[in-house]
Structure 1
Amino acid sequence: MFKNIQKQLLLKYPLLWNTKFIPMVILGIIMNIIYFFIGYYDGTIDFTGEYSYGNNDDEVLGFGFILTAIILLIWFWFYVKNNSFKAFYIKSKNALFFEFLQILIIFVLFFNFYIIYKTGIQLHNRSYYSYEEAKKRCEILSLAEIFIDGSFESTELDSIKMGMIYKSKAKNDSVFEVCRDNEKIVTKDYVLFDNKKYDKYSLINRSSLKFEINSFKEDSISLIKLKRDVISNKSAVLNFMSTYLDLIKEHNLHTNLDANTWYNAVVKQPKLKNFALIFPYTYNVEKQKNKDYYINHYDYYYNNDEYVVRDKYIFDENYLNSSNVKYSKFYLEHILLRDKYGKISNAYSYRYFRLTEVLILNCVAFMLAILLFTFRISKLKKWFISIVIFGILAILFGILSNVFRKVDFLFPLLSLVSFIVFWIYLLFIMNRKSEKQFSEIAINICIWSIPMFIPFLYFFAEEVYRDYIYVYKPNVRDSIYRMFRDNVSLMFSLNFILSIVLIFFMSKTIRTWKGISEE
C-alpha cells in the first residue's frame, strides 16, 4: 500500500514525492500529539507532593531537539538524493516556491513541539478548577498569610525625626553625605487603619500574598475587609479560618490547628500584638506515624550558588530555636498549598505560550529551511564558500563594531550595506545575462539576507533615534522610542510573513538565473 502511494505521488505529484512531505507531516503531527500528552502528564499537580522549584523544560527541550535532529537528518538523506532543479527536470513556474513552502512547513512542524508541550501543561493545570473557583481559593490562601507568617508592610516615613537627624549632621557633613546616610531613613512605629493607630508589628500591618489570578485592587479590598473583621467581627474571622482549614483537609495536608485554636493564638485583642507565629510547614509529627509519607519529601534552599536539600517536614526544636524568628508549636502545610495553587494561578494568568517563544522557534525553523533551500539550488562548493564568506563578514563586522564601541549601531549598518551590495551585484548579473560569474554565491547570501534585512533596519533605526533623543531631547520620554521598544515581537511576526512573500518573488528570479550560462 505504501509503495502504491509513493508510486502515485511520483507519477502525479513528483514534488510531494521528492520532499517526502506527506509522511513527514504525518510524523510531525504524531510527534506533537505525543508531546502534548507528555505536557498534559507533566501538568499533574500533586497537592501532597514535593515543592516545585522550576520544571523539566530543559530536559524536554534537549531530548526533543535531539529527536528532531535525528528525524530531520534521516529525511535529509532521502530528500537530497533527487534534485529536479539541478537536473533540469520540467517544473511549473512556481514549483521552486512550493518546494520551499513544503520544507518550511516540515521544519515548523518539528520545531514547535515545545509550544504543544507547554499547552498540554497549562490545559491540565487549568482542568483542576474553573477560573472563578481557582480565583476564590487563591484569594483565601493569599489572605491567610496574615494569620500564618506574612511579612509586615512598610510604614510611612517619619519626617520629624528625619529632619532632626539632618540638622544634627548638616553642621559637619555636606548635604550629599547626609542624604547618602542610611540613618536618615526613619519610619513611623505605627500604622493608621480606619483612623486608628496600631503598632507596626501588629496583625493589622501584616501583608497578604499576591497571586497573579487576582488583581491588585481585588486583593486590597479583600485584605481591608478581613482586617476590619479582625478588629470587630470574630465570627467572620472564624468562618474564614474554617474555610482555609477545609482546603487543608481536602488535600490531605497536615495541621494541628482548628479554627478556635488558631484564632486564639493569633488574634490578641485589643492591640493585636504578641501573636503566635504559625509554622508554614509540618514539624514535630510523630515519626512512627505515616512514615512512608515523609520519605522523599524535601525542601530546597539556595546556598553558595547551589541547591541544598533539607527535610521539609520533620524539624526539631533546636532548628526552630536557632532562628531569629521564634515559631509557636502550631503548624500548617501552607507553603505546599500555596505552591500548588500558584501553578493553577499562573496557568490562568498567562498565555499557553509566549509570543517570543513562538518567534524564536519559528525563526530557527525558517533560517534552516532557507539554508536547505539554497543547498538545493546551488552547488555544494559554492554553497560552502557562501557560508564561509557570510561568516567572515559577520566576524569582521563584529570586530569593527566592538573596536568603535558601537555594536548596536555599526553592526546592523555594515550588514545592511553588505546586503545591498550583494543584491546590486545580483541584479547586475541578471540584467546582463551573459555569464553567472560569482552570482551563485551572491544569490545564496541574498536569500539568507531576506529574513535579516527588516530586523537589522529596525534595530538600526531604533539606535539612531535613541541617539537623537539623547542629544536633542535628553529629558523627554519619547513615544516613538517606546514604540520601537514595545513592537519588536510585532516586527518579527510581520517579517516572517513578508519574508515568505519575498521568497515567492525570489524563486522566479532563481528560475531565470538558472538559464544564464556558466561562462
Structure 2
Amino acid sequence: MQKLNKFNQYLLEKYPTVWNTKLAWMLLAAFIFHLLFFVVGYLSHVNPETLQAQYVKDDYFRHGLIFVHIIISVLMIVVWLIMMFKNNAFKNFYPQSRIKIFGQFVQYFIIIFASTTFYFSYMTGFKMFINNRYPDSEMVKNIETVDRASAFLSQNASLYDLRNRLYPEVFFNLYCETNIRKIDRTKKYFVSYDRVYQFYRLYTKISYLHGDEFTEPQAEKKEKKEIVYSLLSKDGKSKTNYYKKEVVDVSPYINFTGFSYYNYSEIFYDAGAENETLEYYPTDPNRDALNIPSKRKQFEINRKTADLLNKNDIKEIEKLLSQFLSISKKFGIKNNLNAQKWAQIVYAPKEYPVRYFIKSYKNKPGTPYEEFGETTDTAVYAEPAIDSTAVNFEGNQILDSSGEIVTDSVLIKDFNPDISKQISPEEYVKQNLTEYYYYNDDLKNFLASVDEIKSFDYFTENIHLYLWISFFLSVFILSFRITGLKSVLFSAVSAGVLTLSVILIAVLYQVSAHGKVDFFAGYLTLIISLLILIVPIFFIRKFSKKITSIFVNLSLTGFVLFVFLILGIISIHQRQACYGKREAAGIGEKVICHDVFDDFGLSLSYLILILGFIFVFLYSAVLMKWKARPE
C-alpha cells in the first residue's frame, strides 16, 4: 500500500495531469481485462465442435460476450469518472494551458479506447488459436484428403450420375444434354431409367451490347439455335455465347450409365473459388460448365478417384478412408463409419456402382430418415423425363401415385422400353440406405470457419466504431469538466430543438416549394452550423457566459459532424452533376457515378478524426477564454 501511495505522490509531483486523469491506473486495469479477453478468445473454440457452425466470427456477439464487454466497460468508465471528478482541474484552479487541456482530452480518449476495445483482444486470441491449432500447411493436406475421400460418402445420389463425368479429358469440354425433347435420336445417347444423356461439342460466338440488349449473331438467330450458356465480359459490353455444335460419341468410355463412383467430380470444399459472371438458362444442367478454375479442380478430383478405382485395390481405398476418418476425428465430426467396412461397401470392380448410401445424420430410433441427399426428381435430375416416384404402368403410359399420366411418359418408353421392369432412383436409394451416418455439413462448416477466421480482418471492419465512440465520449467529458453539467444539459436540449426545427422546415419546404429538399436541408444546416461556430470565436463577450457555454459545447461536439455535412453537400453536387452526364450519354455508353465518399472510402473516417483532434487543440484557446470570463 505504501508503494502505491508513493507512486501516486510521484505522479502528483512530476505528472499532475496524468495523476488527475488516473491514466496509469486505468491503463493497468484495461491491460488486465484485455489479457483476460485474450485468454477467453484463445480457449473459446478449443472444442472443434464449436467451429461446426456458420459465421463463427460472430460468436462474440451471439454467445453474450458482448454484454460482458459492455458491463465491464461501463463499470470501468463510471469508476474512473468518479475518481477523476474528485479533482476537477478547472474548479480547483490548477494552472492550465492549451497544451494541458488538449493533453487531458487525449488522455480521456486513450482511457476510453482502452476500456472499450476488448473485442480486439478476444479476436486476437481466437485467431492465434486457429493459426496455431490448424496451420495452413496441414490444412491444405487435410482438405486434399477430404476432397478425395468425400467421393465415397455416397449421400447425394445426384453427384454420381453420368452428367458429372469429367474424366477422361474428352469429357472436360463437352456439354451434357439431358432434356429428352432435345435429344438427337439419330446420334449416340445413353439412358438410365428416366434419364437420357447426350454429349455435345460446343462452339462460341460473341455478341455485343447495343442499347440495353445484346445482339445475337445473325446466323445463329436465323437458325434459331439455342444458347446453352453465356459468359459476360468484365466490362459488361460483350458476352460469349455457347452453342451446341455436334454430338460426340463417348461410348468407348462409358460401360455403365447408373450411379457410379467413376462419375463423381464434386469439390467438397473449395476455399479459393473464383466465380465468373455467368448467364444460365432454365434448361441448363451444367451449372458450373464455365467456371473454369472450379471445373479444373473437379476434373482433378474425378481423375484421382478414377485412378484409385482403376487399381482395384481395396487396401488403397481403405487407406484413404482411414486418413479421412482420422481427420474427421480430429475435427470432431460425428459419424459411425469404420474404414474397413466402408471400403467393403465401396469395393465393386469393375464399374464401381454406388450400391449403398450413407446417411447425413443419425435419425432417432423409430423415426424415418427424411433426407436422401437430394435424390428427388428436382435434384437427381435437372430436367427429368418422368417423375422418379412414378412406379405404376398402364399400357404405354406411366402413372404417378395419384393415377395421373406423367408428362413425357410415352417419350421415355421409346428411349427405355424396359423402364417398367426397373426401379426408380429414389426407391433405389431408400432400399440401399445403410445405418451408417456422417455429418458432412458439419465438416464443411468447420473448414469454412477455420478459413473465415484466418482471413477475417476484424480490426479494419470495427476500429472506426470504437474510435468514434472514444472521441465523442472524450469530447463530452471535456465539455462537462469545463462548462459543467447544467451547460451540457442545455446544450443537449438546444441540439435537439435545432434538429427538430431543421426537419420541420425542410418538410414544409418540400410540401410548399416542391424543390430539392436535400440541397435545402443541407445548406440550411450549414448556415446554422457556421453561426454556432462563429459565436464563441468572435462574439464570446457579446453574450452571457451561460449562453456562450451552449455554443461552446455544440461547437466542440459537432465540429466533426460539420465536416461530414460539408462532404455530404459536395457529394450531393457530384451526384447531381453525374446524373446530368448520364442523361446526356449516348446509347450503350455507361457513366459510373462516384462521389467523395466513394473516392476516399473508410480512409475518410481517419481524416475526419484527425481534423477533430486538430480542432480540439485549436479550440482549447477559446475554452480558456470562456473559462476566464467571470460567472
TM-based fold match above 0.5: yes
- CA distance in 2 between counterparts of 1:208 and 1:411 reads 55
The one-letter amino acid of 2:368's match is N
Deviations 1:394-428 (A, max 9, x none): 34445566774989766655544332221122222
**Which among 354, 358, 373 is matched to residue 478 of structure 2?**
373
The residue number in structure 2 matching 1:361 is: 466
Deviations 1:219-238 (A, max 9, x none): 54432111123445526893
481-490 or 211-220, which moves further after superposition? 211-220
Structure 2 counterparts to residues 34-53 of structure 1, below 5 A? 34-47=36-49, 51=53
| Structure ranking higher in helix proportion | 1
Structure 2 counterparts to residues 278-357 of structure 1, below 5 A? 278-281=358-361, 283=362, 314=364, 318-320=368-370, 325=375, 326=429, 328-329=433-434, 330-351=436-457, 353-357=458-462
The one-letter amino acid of 1:255's match is N
The residue number in structure 2 matching 1:207 is: 266
The one-letter amino acid of 1:258's match is A
TM-score by length of 2: 0.62
Instruction: Give yes or no for the alignment of 1:469 onto 2:578.
Output: yes
Share of identical aligned residues, percent? 20
Count of aligned positions: 462
The one-letter amino acid of 1:379's match is G
Runs of 5+ in structure 2 lacking a partner?
A: 165-174, 183-225, 230-241, 276-291, 376-428
- Give SS of 1:94's match: helix
Seen in structure 2, the aligned counterparts of structure 1 residues 6 and 354 have a Cα distance that, compared at 3 Å, is closer
The residue number in structure 2 matching 1:499 is: 612
Residue 488 of structure 1 deviates from its aligned partner by: 3.2
- Give SS of 1:255's match: coil
- CA distance in 2 between counterparts of 1:214 and 1:137 reads 17
The residue number in structure 2 matching 1:248 is: 328
Deviations 1:454-476 (A, max 9, x none): 33333443344334333431576
Seen in structure 2, the aligned counterparts of structure 1 residues 193 and 396 have a Cα distance that, compared at 3 Å, is farther
Residue 264 of structure 1 deviates from its aligned partner by: 5.5
Deviations 1:81-119 (A, max 9, x none): 222224432224411000101111000001111111111
**Which among 14, 21, 24 is matched to residue 22 of structure 1?**
24
129-138 or 320-329, which moves further after superposition? 320-329
Seen in structure 2, the aligned counterparts of structure 1 residues 111 and 250 have a Cα distance that, compared at 3 Å, is closer
The residue number in structure 1 matching 2:123 is: 118
402-411 or 106-115, which moves further after superposition? 402-411
**Which among 529, 535, 539 is matched to residue 429 of structure 1?**
539
The one-letter amino acid of 1:457's match is I
Instruction: Give yes or no for the alignment of 1:484 onto 2:597.
Output: yes
| Mapped contact 2:38–2:124 kept (Cα < 8 A) | yes
Residue 26 of structure 1 deviates from its aligned partner by: 0.7
- Give SS of 1:73's match: helix
| Mapped contact 1:161–1:186 kept (Cα < 8 A) | no
Seen in structure 2, the aligned counterparts of structure 1 residues 409 and 135 have a Cα distance that, compared at 3 Å, is farther
Seen in structure 2, the aligned counterparts of structure 1 residues 9 and 251 have a Cα distance that, compared at 3 Å, is closer
Residue 245 of structure 1 deviates from its aligned partner by: 3.0
Residue 486 of structure 1 deviates from its aligned partner by: 6.7
**Which among 553, 556, 559 is matched to residue 447 of structure 1?**
556
Instruction: Give yes or no for the alignment of 1:510 onto 2:616.
Output: no
Seen in structure 2, the aligned counterparts of structure 1 residues 109 and 133 have a Cα distance that, compared at 3 Å, is same
Residue 247 of structure 1 deviates from its aligned partner by: 1.6
Seen in structure 2, the aligned counterparts of structure 1 residues 324 and 343 have a Cα distance that, compared at 3 Å, is closer
Structure 2 counterparts to residues 393-412 of structure 1, below 5 A? 393-398=498-503, 404=510
The one-letter amino acid of 1:465's match is Q
The one-letter amino acid of 2:554's match is I
- CA distance in 1 between counterparts of 2:249 and 2:597 reads 47
- CA distance in 1 between counterparts of 2:517 and 2:344 reads 62
The residue number in structure 2 matching 1:82 is: 87
The one-letter amino acid of 1:496's match is L
- CA distance in 2 between counterparts of 1:513 and 1:156 reads 82
Deviations 1:454-511 (A, max 9, x none): 3333344334433433343157665661773374321112222232122111113322
| Structure ranking higher in strand proportion | 2
Residue 201 of structure 1 deviates from its aligned partner by: 8.3
11-20 or 192-201, which moves further after superposition? 192-201
| Mapped contact 2:571–2:596 kept (Cα < 8 A) | no
- Which structure has the greater CA radius of gyration? 2
The residue number in structure 1 matching 2:185 is: none
The residue number in structure 2 matching 1:286 is: none
Residue 193 of structure 1 deviates from its aligned partner by: 13
| Mapped contact 2:37–2:122 kept (Cα < 8 A) | yes
| Mapped contact 2:487–2:546 kept (Cα < 8 A) | no
Residue 373 of structure 1 deviates from its aligned partner by: 0.9
The residue number in structure 2 matching 1:420 is: 530
Residue 249 of structure 1 deviates from its aligned partner by: 4.8
TM-score by length of 1: 0.74
Residue 514 of structure 1 deviates from its aligned partner by: 2.8
- CA distance in 2 between counterparts of 1:247 and 1:376 reads 60
Seen in structure 2, the aligned counterparts of structure 1 residues 218 and 269 have a Cα distance that, compared at 3 Å, is farther
- CA distance in 1 between counterparts of 2:575 and 2:260 reads 49
Seen in structure 2, the aligned counterparts of structure 1 residues 314 and 415 have a Cα distance that, compared at 3 Å, is farther
The one-letter amino acid of 1:509's match is V
Q: CA-atom RMSD, angstroms? A: 4.3
Deviations 1:113-142 (A, max 9, x none): 111111111111222121121233234435
Residue 392 of structure 1 deviates from its aligned partner by: 2.5
The one-letter amino acid of 2:472's match is M
**Which among 11, 14, 33 is matched to residue 12 of structure 1?**
14
